Chains A and B, each alone.
Chain A
Amino acid sequence: MLFLICGAPATGKSSVVKSLKDKLENIECHDSDEIMVETGTQRRVSNEEWILKALEAQAKGNDFLLSTQSPFGEILAAPSAIKLDGIKCCLFDCNDFVRVERYLARPQDEKWPLGMDTLCWAVFHRMHAVDPQWEQRVIVDKELPEFGWKRWIPWQKGDNRWDVKIIDTSENTVEHTANLVSEWIVDEKRKPQVLTPENKWWE
C-alpha cells in the first residue's frame, strides 16, 4: 500500500516522516525531496519514479510512506498508480499564521520566497482534499497527456474513492502528529482497500 502525507510547505511533513522511520514495521519511509524538482511538471513526473519504488516495496511485501507536496490527484494520475494495492492520502494542514512562522524559522530558498503563492497553494491543498472538483486546472497538466487525469476528474465530492484524511498540525508537536499518522496507517491497513487493481477504481 502507498500512504501519502501531502500538503503545502511548513506543515511538518518531512519531520514526521523522519520521526516515523524505524518506528513502523514493514513500511519504507521517504520524503519526495530526495528527488529534487523545480517545477510542477517535474514534480508530477517524479511521482511516477516514486510509485515505481512503492511497487518494488509492494513486491517485497512492504508498504510505502511518502511525504510530498503533490496533491492526491497528481498521484492518482501517475501512470503506474493503478498497479498499487491501495493508495491512502493524508493532508497535513495548518493555519496561515502558523505556516508563516514555521516557514520563516527555517532556511530560506531564494527560489521559493514566502508570499501569496505559498499560502494559496495551501488553500488549494485544503480544498482539493475535500473536493476533487475544486479548481482542477491548478494540477491537471496538459504537458503530461500520458498521465491518467481522466481517472478522477469526473469524481464528485463525497465519492468514496476520494477519501483524504486531514490532520491540522497548527497546535501539534511533531511527536503528536507522528502518533496520529501512525494510528491512521494501522487503521487503514485493517480496512478493505478501495483503490486496488481488482476494483478498477479508474474506470
Chain B
Amino acid sequence: MFFLISGAAATGKKSVVRMLKGKIKDLECHWYNEIQEEDTFKDKHEEEEEWVKRALKAQAEGRDFLLAGHTPFGKLLACPSAIKLNGINCCLLDCHDFVRVERYLDRPQFEEWPLCQDTLCWAVFHRMHAHDPEWEQRVVINREMPGFQWERWTSWTANDERWDVKRIDTTENEMEYTVNLVKEWILEEKQKSQILTPQNKWWV
C-alpha cells in the first residue's frame, strides 16, 4: 500500500518522515528529495515513476511505502506504474499562510526557492486539488511527461470516492501531534478495504 504525504513547502512533511520511521511495522518511509540526492535521474519526469517502482518492490516484499513530498495526488495517480499498487492513500499537510511564512523563514534559505507569491499559491493549489480533482487541472497536468496517464482521474468530481484525500491542518500543531495524526491515519487506512487497487480497475 502506498501512502503519500503531500503538500507545499513548510508544513512539516520531512519531519513527519523522520519521526515516523520505525514507528509502524513494515512501513518504508521516504522523503522525495532523497532521489534527487542520488543524482541518478537527469530527467525530473522520471522521479515520481521511480518512487512508484520502489514502492512496488517494497510491495513485492510485503512492505507498505510512505513518500512525503510536493507531489499532488493527481500526479501520483497518473504515474505509469501506479495502477499496480495495492492501494494508494493521500494525506495533505496544510497550514495557514502566516504560519507557513514563519516556518519557511525559520529554515535555511535557497536562492532558487525564495519565499514569494508562488510559494503560497502552490499551497493554494494543493489545498483545492486535495478537495476537488477538477480544480485548475492545468497546474498539475504535464502532457510532456512520457507515459503519464492523466485521464485516469481528470473526469472525476469532488464527491468521487476514489478521490479521498485526508487533510491535516498543522497550523497549531506540535510536530509530535501531527506525526501521531498521520500514524493514526495510516493504521486506519490499513484496516479499510482499499479502493485504488488493480482488482478495482479504478482508472477505467
The chain A residues found within 8 Å of chain B, CB to CB, are 96-97, 100, 115-116, 119-120, 123-124, 126-127, 130, 135, 138
Q: Is the Cβ of A123 less than 8 Å from the Cβ of B117?
A: yes
CB-defined contacts of A120 to chain B, threshold 8 Å: 117, 120-121, 124
CB-defined contacts of A138 to chain B, threshold 8 Å: 117
Rounded to whole Å, the gap between the CB of B127 and the closest CB of chain A is: 6
Task: Describe B's contact surface by its main secondary structure.
Answer: helix
On whether A126 and B97 interact (CB within 8 A), knowing A116-B136, A120-B117, the answer reads yes
CB-defined contacts of B116 to chain A, threshold 8 Å: 135
The chain B residues found within 8 Å of chain A, CB to CB, are 97-98, 101, 116-117, 120-121, 124-125, 127-128, 131, 136, 139
- The answer for the CA separation of A123 and B97 in the assembled complex, in Å, is 8
Task: Describe A's contact surface by its main secondary structure.
Answer: helix
Rounded to whole Å, the gap between the CB of B181 and the closest CB of chain A is: 20
On whether A130 and B136 interact (CB within 8 A), knowing A96-B127, A120-B121, A138-B117, the answer reads no
Q: Is the Cβ of B124 less than 8 Å from the Cβ of A127?
A: no
Q: Is the Cβ of B117 less than 8 Å from the Cβ of A100?
A: no
- The answer for the CA separation of A100 and B132 in the assembled complex, in Å, is 11
- The answer for the CA separation of A135 and B119 in the assembled complex, in Å, is 12
Question: In the complex, what residue of chain B is closest to A93 when comparing beta carbons?
Answer: B97
Q: A119-B121, A119-B124 are in contact. List 10 more A-B contacts (CB 8 A).
A: A115-B136, A119-B128, A120-B120, A120-B121, A120-B124, A123-B117, A123-B121, A126-B98, A127-B97, A130-B98
Rounded to whole Å, the gap between the CB of A160 and the closest CB of chain B is: 20
CB-defined contacts of B117 to chain A, threshold 8 Å: 120, 123-124, 127, 135, 138
Rounded to whole Å, the gap between the CB of A126 and the closest CB of chain B is: 6
Q: Is the Cβ of B136 less than 8 Å from the Cβ of A123?
A: no
Nearest 3 Cβ contacts at the A-B interface: A120-B121, A123-B120, A119-B124
Question: In the complex, what residue of chain A is closest to B128 when comparing beta carbons?
Answer: A96
- The answer for the CA separation of A96 and B94 in the assembled complex, in Å, is 12
- The answer for the CA separation of A138 and B120 in the assembled complex, in Å, is 14
Rounded to whole Å, the gap between the CB of A74 and the closest CB of chain B is: 16
On whether A96 and B120 interact (CB within 8 A), knowing A126-B97, A130-B98, the answer reads no
Question: In the complex, what residue of chain A is closest to B125 when comparing beta carbons?
Answer: A116
CB-defined contacts of A97 to chain B, threshold 8 Å: 127, 131
CB-defined contacts of A126 to chain B, threshold 8 Å: 97-98
Rounded to whole Å, the gap between the CB of A22 and the closest CB of chain B is: 36
Residue among B127, B128, B131, B139 with the most chain A CB within 10 A? B128
Q: Is the Cβ of A116 less than 8 Å from the Cβ of B124?
A: yes
- The answer for the CA separation of A76 and B124 in the assembled complex, in Å, is 28
CB-defined contacts of B127 to chain A, threshold 8 Å: 96-97
Q: Is the Cβ of A100 less than 8 Å from the Cβ of B128?
A: yes
Rounded to whole Å, the gap between the CB of B97 and the closest CB of chain A is: 6
Q: Can you show 16 pairs from A to B with CB atoms below 8 A apart?
A: A96-B127, A96-B128, A97-B127, A116-B125, A116-B136, A119-B128, A120-B117, A120-B120, A120-B124, A123-B120, A123-B121, A123-B124, A127-B97, A127-B101, A135-B116, A135-B117
CB-defined contacts of A123 to chain B, threshold 8 Å: 97, 117, 120-121, 124
CB-defined contacts of B136 to chain A, threshold 8 Å: 115-116
- The answer for the CA separation of A128 and B136 in the assembled complex, in Å, is 25
Question: In the complex, what residue of chain B is closest to A131 when comparing beta carbons?
Answer: B101
Q: Is the Cβ of A96 less than 8 Å from the Cβ of B97?
A: no
Residue among A100, A116, A130 with the most chain B CB within 10 A? A116
Question: In the complex, what residue of chain A is closest to B94 when comparing beta carbons?
Answer: A96
